Amino acid sequence: MDRVKIGIFFGGASEEHPVSIKSAREIAGHLDAGKYEPFYVGITTDGAWRLCDGPDLSAGRPAMLSPDPGVHGLLVLDQGKYETIRLDVLLPVLHGRSGEDGAMQGLFELSGVPYVGCDVPSSALCMDKSLTYLVARSAGIATPGFRIVTAADGVDAESFTYPVFVKPARSGSSFGVSKVTGTDDLTTAVETARQYDTKVLIEEAVVGSEVGCAVLGNDLDLIVGEIDRVALSHGFFRIHQEGSPETGSENSTFVVPADIGSEARSLVQETARTLHRALGCRGLSRVDLFLLEDGSVMLNEVNTLPGMTSYSRYPRMMAAAGLPLSEVIDLLVTLALTGKLR
Q: List, by residue number, the catalytic residues.
A: 19, 22, 95, 240, 246, 286, 307, 311
64 C-beta neighbours (distance < 10 Å), count: 16
138 C-beta neighbours (distance < 10 Å), count: 9
Give the number of C-alpha atoms closer than 13 A to the C-alpha of residue 237, restricted to the C-beta side: 21
Distance between CA atoms of residues 317 and 334, nearest Å:
20
Q: Which of 255, 273, 271 is nearest to 263 (CA)?
A: 271
Q: 103-111 and 120-127 helices cross at what angle (nearest 10)?
A: 170
Torsion over CA of 205, 165, 300 and 139, rounded to 10 degrees? 80
